Every structure is written in structure tokens, then in C-alpha cells.
Amino acid sequence: MGAALSLAHALGVSALITAELLSEIEAVMVRKLNEQMAERSTGITPI
């Protein structure tokens, strides 16, 4: 959380907005990471 808030501050994004959107951003990051890991382990691109 601290790193995300620091990055947002450096980019000029409000800490309130960052805190509000962080859970949604995290969900997308986890989903994409899981897709990449599945692709690498099976060699099949997920749908």
C-alpha cells in the first residue's frame, strides 16, 4: 500500500483516489499475473 501511495503521489494522483481504486487495480494485476503464469506453465494462451 505504501509503495502504491508513493507512486501515485509521484504521478500527482490524489491519495484518496488511489486508496479508493487500489483494490480494483490489485484485482486486475492478480488476474493478469495468473494468466501469464498459466500461459508459461502450459504453453496455452488463456481465453
The domain ranges of the chain are 22-47
pTM: 0.56
Could you tell me which residues come within 8 angstroms of residue 9 by beta carbon, excluding any fewer than 6 positions away?
15
- The reported pLDDT for the residue numbered 2 is 84
Q: Please state, for a pLDDT cut of 90, what percent of the chain lies above it.
A: 47
Cβ-Cβ contacts under 8 Å for 47 (sequence gap 6 or more): none
Instruction: Render pLDDT for 2-15 as a digit per residue (tens, 0 to 9).
Output: 888 899 999 999 98
CA distances 37 to 8, 25, 43, Å, are: 27, 18, 10
